[in-house]
Amino acid sequence: MLTNLHKIRQNALSSITEASSLQEVKKIRIFYLGRKGKLTGVLRGIGSLKQEERRIVGKTANEIKKEIENAISAKEKELKDKDIKREDIDITLPGRIPWIGRRHPITICGQEICNIFTQIGYSIVEGPEIETDYYNFEALNIPMYHPARDIHDTFYLEGGRLLRTHTSPVQIRVMEREKPPLKVLSCGKCYRRDSPDATHSPVFHQLEGFYVDRNVTFRQLKGTLTYFAYQFFGKNIRTKFVPSYFPFTEPSAELYVSCSVCKGRGCRVCKGTGFVEVLGCGMVHPEVFNNVGYNPKEYTGFAFGMGLERLIMLKYRIDDIRLFYENDMRFLNQFGP
Ligand code: PHE
pLDDT tens for 161-197 read: 999 999 999 999 999 999 999 999 999 999 999 999 8
Quote the ligand 1 centre to 207 CA distance (angstroms).
Answer: 9
pLDDT at 89: 73
Quote the ligand 1 centre to 272 CA distance (angstroms).
Answer: 25
- Residue 131: strand pairing partners: 162
Cα–chain center distance at 135: 28
pLDDT at 87: 65
Q: Is the CB of residue 263 less than 8 Å from the CB of residue 317?
A: no
Q: In this structure, what are the phi and psi dihedrals at residue 316, rounded to the nearest 5 degrees? A: -105, 10
Rounded to two decimals, the pTM is 0.73
H-run or E-run covering 131 = strand 130-132
Quote the ligand 1 centre to 209 CA distance (angstroms).
Answer: 10
Q: Which atom in ligand 1 lies closest to the alpha carbon of residue 165?
A: 4
**Nearby residues of 302 by Cβ (< 8 Å), 6 or more positions away:** 210, 211, 216, 218, 220, 221, 224, 249, 281, 282, 283, 284
**Ligand 1 contact via 301 beta carbon (within 6 Å):** no
Q: Which atom in ligand 1 lies closest to the alpha carbon of residue 190?
A: 4
Q: What is the signed CA dihedral for 45, 46, 49, 52, rounded to 10 degrees?
A: 170
Quote the ligand 1 centre to 266 CA distance (angstroms).
Answer: 26
Q: Is the CB of residue 245 less than 8 Å from the CB of residue 254?
A: no
pLDDT at 324: 96
* Residue to mutate (ligand 1; options 166, 170, 200; most atoms within 8 A of CB): 166
Bond from prior residue into 94 cis (ω within 30 degrees of 0):
no
**Ligand 1 contact via 314 beta carbon (within 6 Å):** no
> How confident is the model over 268-326, as pLDDT tens digits?
778 889 999 999 999 999 999 999 999 999 999 999 999 999 999 999 989 889 999 99
Q: Is the CB of residue 281 less than 8 Å from the CB of residue 221?
A: yes
* Residue to mutate (ligand 1; options 246, 281, 287; most atoms within 8 A of CB): 246
pLDDT at 43: 76
**From atom 7 of ligand 1, which residue's Cα is the shortest distance away?**
305
**Ligand 1 contact via 284 beta carbon (within 6 Å):** no
pLDDT at 205: 97
CA distance 28 to 22: 10
Q: Is the CB of residue 310 less than 8 Å from the CB of residue 254?
A: no
Q: Which atom in ligand 1 lies closest to the alpha carbon of residue 167?
A: 1
Q: Which atom in ligand 1 lies closest to the alpha carbon of residue 152?
A: 4
Across the chain, which has 337 residues, the per-10-residue mean pLDDT values are 80 82 84 81 78 81 84 82 71 84 94 97 97 96 86 88 97 97 97 91 97 98 98 94 97 94 82 92 98 97 97 91 93 86
pLDDT at 86: 65
Quote the ligand 1 centre to 267 CA distance (angstroms).
Answer: 26
CA distance 137 to 142: 5
* Residue to mutate (ligand 1; options 117, 168, 222, 279; most atoms within 8 A of CB): 168
